[in-house]
Amino acid sequence: MKPQSFFRLVFCIALLTVKTAYGQDSTASVMQAHFINVGQADATLLEFPCGAILIDAGAQDSTAQTTLIQYLQHFFARRTDLHNTLDLVVISHDHVDHDITLPGVAQTFTIRHYIDNGHTNANDSGEPMQANMEQYAQQHGIPYENFSFEQITANGNHQGLTDAVIEPLHCAVTSPQITVLSGRFASKPAGWHSSDYSNENNHSLVIRLQFGKASFLFSGDLETAGDTQLVNYYGNNALLDVDVWKVSHHAAVNGTSATLLAAITPQYAVIHCGQWNYGIGPPVQTFSTYAYGHPRIATLDALQQSIPGNRLQAITVKAASAQYTFSDYSVTKNIYATAWDGNVTIKASSSGTYTVVTNDQ
């Protein structure tokens, strides 16, 4: 072989080696979870070598709705191979901070599959968006399913539920395994108060994602009654034991129990919440980070005690001891939040390694 030919061959091999996993080399076993900064709301884009999934489409206001649509547009401009298509959209429950941008997402992008918790008569804030999306799916031939806890756990099933709608992707090397662990409760579980059962947060879909050795858990806005039910049923099962947890209910005081943390044993935690002074007024806005007091110091304390690894740099943030009451708090562990990190992206390899990228990096 001529020297020039040899060096051209080496150069070509080098180019193939450094190609990015998305849009160029479909065999790369890497995924990314994009926790999008939509303020006091939830929206997570899961990017795989062969497709994309959106979990929740919330926004705290009209500006954040635009932010979410633009983020997705920029994503698809980079991933032209995906043709503006979301292979699955999941809405955890029908509150506006989880589904207000759903109509805009459906109008702007192609949705191949759609799932939610099936509540359309709960008189909750996001009920119209969820009900309209169910109708839209029917009108446009989009496969749609909803799930109850009773359906998921029928016949003593402790493995969660999956099917072709829940798990639509089949990538060349590593495909995501997606499982629904909980959903709406058709009847009030034993030990629940009526207020627990009427609280839509406790009817959140709980989604587990496995990508090779990497694992994620998305638990919507599950509160104490819901997470107790979850742990009681799956507690001795490795399904709850994951590396990355999207913290329940914006890190509210009632969204992170000690028993749930012990079952999950997270290595990384990500919190969707707004800037601490969002809604401070005057007048104070009822639907706001400031009024809710997110994230709570008690939750951050529990996470810091549970998570073993440290952030590259500690960060001082504002956290709440109660509604309307915030103070400085030092975060040292692998805890990230859209309020202080902006957009948070966790790159996960199928071998189980993780890299965290924030707006500041």
Domain assignment present for 231:
yes
In 3D space, the residue among 58, 77, 67 whose CA is nearest the CA of residue 129 turns out to be 58
Q: For residue range 262-282, what is the model confidence (pLDDT) as tens digits? A: 999 999 999 999 999 999 989
Which residues, other chains included, contact 352 with Cβ-Cβ below 8 Å and sequence gap of 6+? 212, 213, 214, 243
DSSP element (H, E) containing 62: helix 62-78
Q: Which residues contact 85 (CB under 8 A, 6 or more apart)?
A: 51, 52, 109, 110, 111, 112
Locus of tokens 């507690």: 235
| Inside any domain, residue 36 | yes
- The answer to the question of residue 225 being in a domain is yes
CB of 47 closer than 8 Å to CB of 347: no
What is the pLDDT confidence band of residue 7, given thresholds at 50, 70 and 90?
very low
Question: 321: domain CATH number?
Answer: 3.60.15.10
Do the domain assignments include residue 77? yes
pLDDT band (50, 70, 90) for residue 237: confident
**Strand order, beta sheet including 44-48:** 144-146, 114-116, 88-90, 51-55, 44-48, 30-35, 344-349, 354-358
Instruction: Kindly state whether residue 4 falls inside one of the protein's structural domains.
Output: no
The predicted model gives 248-265 an average pLDDT of 94
Residue 15 lies in a domain: no
User: What pTM did the predictor assign?
Assistant: 0.91
Q: How many domains does the chain have?
A: 1
In a domain, 109, yes or no: yes
- pLDDT tens for 13-59 read 333 333 334 443 444 599 999 999 999 999 999 999 999 999 999 99
For 149, the domain range is: 31-358
Within a domain: 2: no
